[in-house]
Structures are given as structure tokens and as C-alpha cells.
């Protein structure tokens, strides 16, 4: 039976703590729909709101948000994850490796810590769906904020090798050079993804947010048993995933990456883990 009840919403008052999720665009963000009901269920006087920020305004907006006395955290989505990592006072080990951040937290002393759960969330989502990572060959489209974190997490989880492509060659070379210092010989920059010999193909680009976008890669070139993953959360069924499913591939939706991060977000911000079952 489908539960059609409206999820609980926290009442906003003068004591409410604030969180923002910044991006450009922000229409696709799913985190408010997950975290605001969680705040309400746990009796936490807080609210998470979307804030659209043009890239040229990012530094001024983030520094302005950081000066709001009752703002405790900033979630970061496309295209700001690389720049946002540089706007914190401290960076976690994960952020230093990936070079990107998807969340900033105000510390007790007023300083700001950058963290990134994209990669661990993506890997957790794959594991929960029963997809093995260790020993697999990965084709990754996108060397930006999410792609950097996903590449790092997949290598940490034991992927045999990753071939990554991005039209921004300096960004691509920077990512591969940085990760190769930790995993030499296991990550390579390529002009064209070797789909025919890949076990897992991942879209970590914004392609798919709009119905008019071209596919980030052609899934028909993949072996029959390959898994196709997408980080796009809205729409749920991207053109890439629709075509891959029609070809008989296992598909992995973008919402799994966010669901895989919820427990990490809760621990990071001192919330109780969500109830399951």
C-alpha cells in the first residue's frame, strides 16, 4: 500500500537554525525533501533551503552565508564543488584527495570545515544495490566536483582501473595527476571512454538535466553485463538510463548517491540516523 501522508515539516521560528544548498541550477536538488522531514521527525529546529548562485557570485555568497549567525551548514551542488572546497578554513582528508567539497560545516570556534560525501555515497549506493566494485573496470564521464569524489571513492573501494574523460582538459589532467599520486597506474585520462571493456560506466556530468542534452556516452558500446550509473537525480530516469535499460543493462539512478550519504550527513551534523524499515 502506498503511503500518501504528507511528510512532517518543521515549524520555522526565531530560533530556527539554517542550512542552505547552493547550486546553479537548483531546481533538481533533492536534499531538502530528505533532510527537512528528518529535522521534523527528530524535533530539530532547523530548515534546509535551496539557494541559486551564479558561479561568478559564489565567493561573495558563501562568505555572506558564513556570516549569518544562525546558519550551521552549506550543501554544495553543481557547478560549485571545486571552488567551494577552497572557501572553507579547513579541509577533510577526503576533500584534500578529491579536490572538491559537497558540504561545509560551521565548527564550534566559528571556523568552517569542508567535507565531501559524494564518492562514499555513490559507492554505498552501488553496494546496497548489489553491484561489486572491487576489481572492476570503470568508464567515468566527468572530472568535475562529483566525478573527482566518485573516482577517489571507487579507487578506495578497489576498482581495478578508471578511465576518465572531460572536455575541460586542464581539469581532467589535474584530477588524474592528483589521484595518480595515491593510486599510480590505476586512473587514466582518455579522449574517448573504452566502453567496450568496461564493467561500470558512470555519468558524472550535468548532461541529462535537460531533455535536449546529448548523451554523455553511448551505452550500446558497453558489454551486456555492464552497469550504467548516473548522478543526475532529477529527472529520475535520464535519457542515458532509459536507453541503457532498453539495451538490457543494469541501471543505477542518481538518487542512490544521495540516499547513500544521508547517514554520513546525520553524523556530520550531529543528527540521529534515519529510521529504517
Q: How far is Cα of residue 109 from the mean position of the Cα atoms in its chain?
A: 28
CA dihedral 256, 259, 265, 267 (to 10 degrees): -120
Q: What angle do CA 148, 266, 206 make, to 5 degrees?
A: 30
CB atoms within 10 A of CB 196: 10
CB atoms within 10 A of CB 195: 18
- Active site includes 81? yes
Peptide bond between residue 30 and the one before it cis (omega within 30 degrees of 0): no
Residues 6+ apart with CB under 8 A from 58: 22, 80, 83, 84, 87
Between CA 3 and CA 16 the distance in angstroms is: 29
Catalytic positions, written as ranges: 81
Amino acid at each position: 500500500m502506498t503511503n500518501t501522508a504528507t511528510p512532517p515539516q518543521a515549524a520555522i521560528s526565531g530560533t530556527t537554525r539554517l542550512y542552505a544548498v547552493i547550486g546553479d541550477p537548483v531546481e533538481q536538488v533533492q536534499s531538502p525533501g530528505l533532510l527537512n522531514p528528518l529535522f521534523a521527525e527528530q524535533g530539530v529546529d532547523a530548515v534546509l533551503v535551496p539557494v541559486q548562485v551564479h558561479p561568478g557570485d559564489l565567493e561573495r555568497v558563501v562568505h555572506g552565508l558564513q556570516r549569518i549567525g544562525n546558519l550551521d551548514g552549506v550543501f554544495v551542488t553543481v557547478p560549485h564543488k571545486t571552488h567551494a572546497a577552497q572557501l572553507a578554513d579547513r579541509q577533510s582528508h577526503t576533500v584534500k584527495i578529491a579536490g572538491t567539497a559537497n558540504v561545509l560545516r560551521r565548527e564550534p570556534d566559528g571556523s568552517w570545515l569542508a567535507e565531501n560525501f559524494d564518492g562514499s555515497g555513490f559507492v554505498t549506493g552501488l553496494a546496497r544495490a548489489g553491484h561489486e566494485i572491487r576489481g572492476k573496470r570503470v568508464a567515468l564521464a566527468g572530472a568535475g566536483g562529483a566525478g573527482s569524489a566518485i573516482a577517489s571513492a571507487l579507487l578506495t573501494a578497489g576498482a581495478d582501473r578508471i578511465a576518465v574523460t572531460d572536455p575541460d582538459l586542464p581539469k581532467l589532467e589535474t584530477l588524474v595527476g592528483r589521484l595518480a599520486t595515491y593510486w599510480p597506474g590505476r586512473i587514466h585520462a582518455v579522449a574517448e571512454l573504452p566502453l567496450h571493456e568496461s564493467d561500470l560506466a558512470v555519468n558524472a556530468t550535468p548532461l541529462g538535466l535537460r531533455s535536449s542534452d546529448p548523451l554523455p556516452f553511448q551505452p550500446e558500446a558497453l558489454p551486456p553485463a555492464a552497469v550504467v550509473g548516473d548522478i543526475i537525480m532529477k529527472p529520475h530516469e535520464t535519457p542515458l538510463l532509459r536507453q541503457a535499460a532498453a539495451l538490457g543493462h543494469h541501471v543505477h539512478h542518481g538518487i542512490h548517491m544521495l540516499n547513500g550519504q544521508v547517514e554520513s550527513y546525520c553524523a556530520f551534523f550531529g543528527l540521529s540516523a534515519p529510521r529504517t524499515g
